[in-house]
């Protein structure tokens, strides 16, 4: 293409407020941007006619034998492969791990090239991956990450889902979601404890302490939403979860995240009522469309004790399924007429959100669980979409202020006994933590592993480095059978800018400031992470977030131990710094208590003059 390149908006016709153009944008499912431009709502499609190559079955190697030249490279290879294990990935043949179209690699040839390169990569070399495709190898040094990843990133004026889909259809970019393209997804367990803790805090606030004798209404049983039913029952409650795709219901039954299912609303309500009356923990999957079921429950006068949603609302084309059609008819429309599909999905999201606001107005505790349903509903013309708040400002931000967030690890040996050993170790390391004392035994009993055995728990600043040393010593002494990979979700204290989710309602109004995840990636690169990633659009869709990830491999060596001590300090420390800079007292207290240096507060009697 020659000549001057204009942002997609420049060719879209009349701007917001000019009458016909604004109406056209709304009718076609466009969201109006703050600068008056227009950006297609939703998230990327699978990529149209781009040939991703011949699918193959992928399963990570197990055991202590290296196929690469070092354990950092081996860890990256095994976790990439683990993301595409059929036990883990939602659509492995399409390289889709979770979250609509979140992929681990752009194509099968790209996957093979990444794997081939990792097997030959030296301990002082770094592989560069651009949106799921390996693009270069440089000699760096042994403290540098072995892999640097950038996924889905676009210059802001071009950061629209429509422009993204055009590039993706030509095989030029890939949607990495959060942990899909950064090779640290561990299955539904990866979101489970966060959901468990969110519901526990909501129960403390609204239900007298727990969910016994209470019921939760929600929707979505995909890679993220699939954690909801088990999180509810682990808190003692009854979950009624609406899901339009029967295969997702069956998957959650197989992995024991869901207890039973029905396609009959009346039967589901009867089961719910009986379990509530008996104060019995029970999860019920209801085959149906949330845009139809939630308004119907409101009309019937049902009153859940908590209400949320985790459908793939961030993705108006490949995620959310519009109401008024059978599931099969919706899929046919998606393939035949994507624009018509998007318009119907956006209208359905507006109805869905409107019903949730209806419950909220009646006093039902309601929260957005980070899928951008409110943003999509607002884009579709529903002006009261943000009547209820998101889960982070309501329940999670105090944890973020102390650098606390989703810490995870996976056993490269493939032996569940290694995770059982780390379970014991974390309880020994933090004997006075009541949350861990409750969570770890529950997870050990009720969470089925997907792919490589793994565990997740929430740890804060100081705690991550401390437990990283514990893991390092377990590997060093041979108490586990192979090295352990340590990582986290991008949904963390200091690694994401997402105004409709993690950074919603920041104290100083910096919801959309994206410097922090970039600084997070830079400092983790400097501190010794094994691989580092910067992504755009995860969780809430293209145009709505910037976020970073890091992974470190504990192989028992002296160098690995030094790296772990640094990167497991800098990474959660960025959460403390981010919230201290925004003026949160809890973060300022944590920084002072832990000796974290904040230059603007040194020698100025605690003042920050900007």
Residues annotated as catalytic (active site), given as ranges: 457
The answer to whether 312 is annotated as binding is yes
Query: Would you say 456 and 186 are in contact if contact means Cβ atoms under 8 Å apart?
Result: yes
Structure tokens at 207: 């239900």
The answer to whether 289 is annotated as binding is yes
Residue 128 dihedral angles phi and psi, to the nearest 5°: -105, 130
The answer to whether 290 is annotated as binding is yes
The answer to whether 313 is annotated as binding is yes
Structure tokens at 399: 């944890």
Query: Would you say 198 and 308 are in contact if contact means Cβ atoms under 8 Å apart?
Result: no
Query: Can you tell me the distance from the alpha carbon of 317 to that of 43, in angstroms, rounded to the nearest whole number?
Result: 7
Spatial neighbors of 552 by CB under 8 A, at least 6 apart, are 468, 485, 486, 487, 528, 529, 530, 560, 563, 564, 567, 568
Q: How far is residue 98 from each of residues 85, 171, 183, measured CA to CA in Å?
A: 12, 19, 12
User: Which is it for strands 215-219 and 306-307: parallel, antiparallel or unpaired?
Assistant: parallel
The answer to whether 579 is annotated as binding is no
The answer to whether 12 is annotated as binding is no
The answer to whether 369 is annotated as binding is yes
Query: Can you tell me the distance from the alpha carbon of 561 to that of 16, in angstroms, rounded to the nearest whole number?
Result: 55
Q: Cα 575 to chain center, whole Å?
A: 17
The answer to whether 357 is annotated as binding is no
Q: Determine how many CB atoms are found less than 10 A away from the CB of residue 16.
A: 18
What is the largest distance, in Å, between two alpha-carbon atoms of the chain? Answer: 70
CA dihedral over 329, 332, 333, 334, signed as positive or negative: positive
**Containing H/E element for 473?**
helix 463-476
Q: Determine how many CB atoms are found less than 10 A away from the CB of residue 118.
A: 24
The answer to whether 376 is annotated as binding is no
The answer to whether 177 is annotated as binding is yes
Query: Can you tell me the distance from the alpha carbon of 564 to that of 553, in angstroms, rounded to the nearest whole number?
Result: 8
Q: DSSP states of 283-320 as a string?
A: EEEEES-HHHHHHHHHHHT---SEE---S-TT-TTTT-
For residues 33, 610, 405 and 234, what is the CA-based torsion angle, rounded to 10 degrees?
-70
The distance in angstroms from the start CA to the end CA of the chain is 44
The answer to whether 174 is annotated as binding is no
Query: Would you say 493 and 575 are in contact if contact means Cβ atoms under 8 Å apart?
Result: yes
Cα-based angle 212, 213, 219 (whole degrees, multiple of 5): 90
Nearest to 547 by CA among 366, 377, 385, 405: 405
The answer to whether 321 is annotated as binding is yes
Exposure class string for 365-381: b at 16+ Cβ within 10 A, else e: bbbbbbbbbbbbbbbbe
Q: What residues form the annotated binding site?
A: 99-100, 177, 223-225, 243, 248, 289-290, 310-314, 320-321, 369, 539
Q: What residues form the annotated binding site for NAD(+)?
A: 99-100, 177, 223-225, 243, 248, 289-290, 310-314, 320-321, 369, 539
């Amino acid at each position: 293409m020659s000549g001057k390149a204009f942002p997609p908006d420049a060719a879209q016709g009349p701007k917001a407020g000019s009458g016909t153009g604004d109406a056209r944008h709304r009718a076609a499912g466009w969201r109006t941007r703050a600068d008056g431009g227009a950006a297609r709502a939703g998230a990327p499609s699978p990529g149209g006619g781009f040939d991703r190559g011949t699918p193959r079955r992928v399963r990570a190697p197990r055991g202590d034998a290296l196929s690469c030249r070092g354990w950092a490279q081996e860890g990256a290879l095994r976790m990439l492969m683990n993301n595409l294990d059929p036990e883990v990935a939602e659509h492995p043949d399409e390289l889709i791990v979770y979250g609509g179209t979140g992929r681990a690699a752009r194509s099968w040839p790209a996957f093979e090239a990444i794997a081939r390169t990792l097997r030959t990569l030296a301990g002082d070399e770094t592989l560069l991956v651009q949106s799921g495709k390996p693009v270069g190898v440089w000699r760096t040094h042994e403290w540098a990450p072995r892999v640097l990843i950038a996924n889905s990133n676009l210059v802001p004026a071009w950061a629209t889902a429509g422009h993204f889909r055009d590039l993706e259809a030509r095989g030029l970019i890939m949607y990495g979601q959060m942990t899909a393209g950064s090779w640290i997804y561990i299955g539904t367990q990866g979101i489970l404890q966060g959901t468990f803790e969110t519901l526990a805090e909501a129960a403390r606030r609204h239900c007298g302490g727990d969910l016994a004798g209470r019921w939760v209404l929600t929707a979505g049983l995909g890679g993220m939403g699939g954690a909801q039913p088990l999180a509810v029952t682990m808190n003692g409650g009854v979950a009624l979860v609406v899901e339009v795709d029967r295969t997702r219901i069956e998957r959650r039954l197989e992995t024991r995240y869901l207890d039973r299912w029905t396609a009959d609303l009346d039967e589901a309500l009867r089961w719910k009522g009986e379990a509530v009356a008996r104060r019995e923990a029970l999860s019920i999957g209801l085959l149906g469309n949330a845009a139809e079921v939630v308004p119907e429950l409101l009309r019937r006068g049902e009153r859940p004790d908590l209400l949320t949603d985790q459908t793939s609302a961030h993705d108006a084309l490949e995620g959310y399924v519009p109401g008024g059609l059978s599931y099969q008819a919706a899929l046919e429309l998606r393939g035949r007429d994507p624009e018509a599909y998007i318009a119907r999905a956006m209208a359905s999201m507006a109805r869905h959100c409107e019903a949730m606001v209806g419950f909220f107005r009646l006093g039902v505790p309601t929260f957005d669980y980070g899928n951008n349903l409110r943003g999509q509903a607002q884009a579709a013309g529903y002006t009261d979409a943000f009547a209820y708040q998101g889960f982070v400002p309501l329940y999670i931000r105090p944890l973020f202020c102390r650098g606390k967030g989703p810490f995870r690890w996976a056993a490269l040996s493939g032996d569940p006994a290694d995770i059982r050993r780390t379970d014991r170790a974390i309880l020994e390391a933090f004997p006075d933590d009541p949350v861990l004392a409750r969570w770890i035994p529950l997870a050990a009993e009720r969470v089925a592993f997907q792919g490589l055995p793994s565990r997740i728990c929430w740890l804060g600043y100081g705690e991550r480095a401390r437990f990283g040393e514990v893991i390092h010593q377990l590997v060093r002494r041979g108490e586990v059978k192979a090295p352990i990979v340590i990582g986290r979700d991008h949904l963390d204290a200091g690694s994401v800018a997402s105004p409709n989710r993690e950074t919603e309602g920041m104290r100083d109004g910096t919801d959309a400031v994206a410097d922090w995840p970039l600084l997070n990636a830079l400092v983790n690169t400097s501190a010794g992470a094994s691989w580092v990633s910067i992504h755009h659009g995860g969780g809430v869709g293209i145009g709505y977030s910037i976020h970073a990830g890091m992974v470190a491999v504990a192989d028992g060596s002296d160098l690995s131990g030094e790296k772990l001590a640094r990167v497991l300090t800098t990474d959660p420390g960025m959460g403390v710094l981010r919230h201290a800079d925004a003026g949160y007292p809890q973060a300022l207290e944590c920084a002072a208590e832990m000796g974290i240096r904040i230059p603007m507060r040194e020698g100025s009697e605690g003042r920050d003059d900007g």
